[in-house]
Structure 1
Amino acid sequence: MTHRAARLCAPLFAAAVTAAVTTSALIGTAGPAMAQDDLPPAVAARQHHMDLYGFNLALLGGMAKGEIDYDADAATGAAGNIAALAMLDQSGYWPEGTSSDDIEGTRALPAIWENMDDFQSHIDALAEAATALEETAGDGVEAVRAGMGGIGKSCGGCHEDYRVSR
């Protein structure tokens, strides 16, 4: 990660570490059909983690589509944030009994726990694609467009196999 991107990501790392520590301390047993407000901390944490992915992807996607003016620093920071998020240890987000079959308000398919190694490979692919994009995002909007392909492929592949469709 570049020095500038590391500086941009520092608040994200601090928040993520705090969330991870809090989540690890609070993970409990999930009951079936819990209401959205009653999500176990691990599920809430993973959903917020996905929200952070989405926030950064929206910025990059907006630039790639020409809906947002290209900004090299913002693009590099967003790609770095995605890479940082993907590199965090997410194992605490996925305790047994927190699939869509177990809890109302989650889209995580039971297949995650049946294929955890493959699931993790999608996270690793996202980290790799985001790191590659971080290295080139400052080179112009065409570089962002090109790099978004790898990110889209890793996200889409995971969502296809491991997320309930809306």
Structure 2
Amino acid sequence: MIHLRRPAIAAAALALLAAPLSAEVFEPKKAQELRESHMKLMGAHLGVLGTMAKGEMEYDANVASAAAEALAGLAQGTNGNYWVEGSSTEDLEDSRALPELWQDMEDVGQKAAALRDATQAMQEAAGTDLAALQGAMKSVGDACGDCHKAYRKPEE
């Protein structure tokens, strides 16, 4: 069984968020690397929640709460300074960020807000019971998918 400790998760999330929320703007390659790492961390916590929601892992309110708390914290940092021009698929071979992302920042901001709202709702629901966790998964998945469909190059 996976055991997660809230203080460790919170510390990791805060450490990750400290760099993107600083005044520093990263050079494109570093920005792309940080962005990818951030998304992988979000995916890891979402994976724990999804595995429980699908019944592939026994529901554990403490683990679900910790994963949802970390996910919500990471979602707060999705507008960090690693979204810099020059780090799209047109600029970097291993980037998956489509150049359209920088052409409609208002839409990007709306999608980021939807993600923050969905992860906050997940944070409130995850530790309640399995049904609440399952109910919150769709909104989080939709928020991730909406942005990825519009602004992320599909995997080859």
| TM band (smaller chain) | 0.7 to 0.9
Residues 79 and 134, structure 1, Cα contact 8 Å, conserved in 2: yes
- Mark the runs of 5 or more structure 2 residues left unpaired by the alignment: none
1:92-132 CA-partner distances (Å, limit 9, x unpaired): 11111111111111100011000112112111111111111
The match for 2:92 among 96, 103, 108 is 103
Aligned residues: 151
Is 1:61–2:50 an aligned residue pair? yes
Is 1:116–2:109 an aligned residue pair? no
- Once residues 16 and 50 of structure 1 are traced to their aligned partners in structure 2, the CA distance between those partners, rounded to angstroms, is 11
- Once residues 91 and 15 of structure 1 are traced to their aligned partners in structure 2, the CA distance between those partners, rounded to angstroms, is 13
SS of residue paired to 1:135: helix
- Once residues 139 and 91 of structure 1 are traced to their aligned partners in structure 2, the CA distance between those partners, rounded to angstroms, is 31
Question: Which TM-score applies when normalising by structure 1?
Answer: 0.82
Residue type of the alignment partner of 1:88: G
Residues 23 and 41, structure 1, Cα contact 8 Å, conserved in 2: no
2:12 corresponds to: 12
Cα RMSD for the two superposed structures: 2.1
Is 1:48–2:22 an aligned residue pair? no
User: How high is the sequence identity, in percent, across the aligned residues?
Assistant: 37
Residues 60 and 75, structure 1, Cα contact 8 Å, conserved in 2: yes
Larger helix share, 1 or 2: 1
Give the superposition deviation at 1:6: 6.8
Residues 23 and 45, structure 1, Cα contact 8 Å, conserved in 2: no
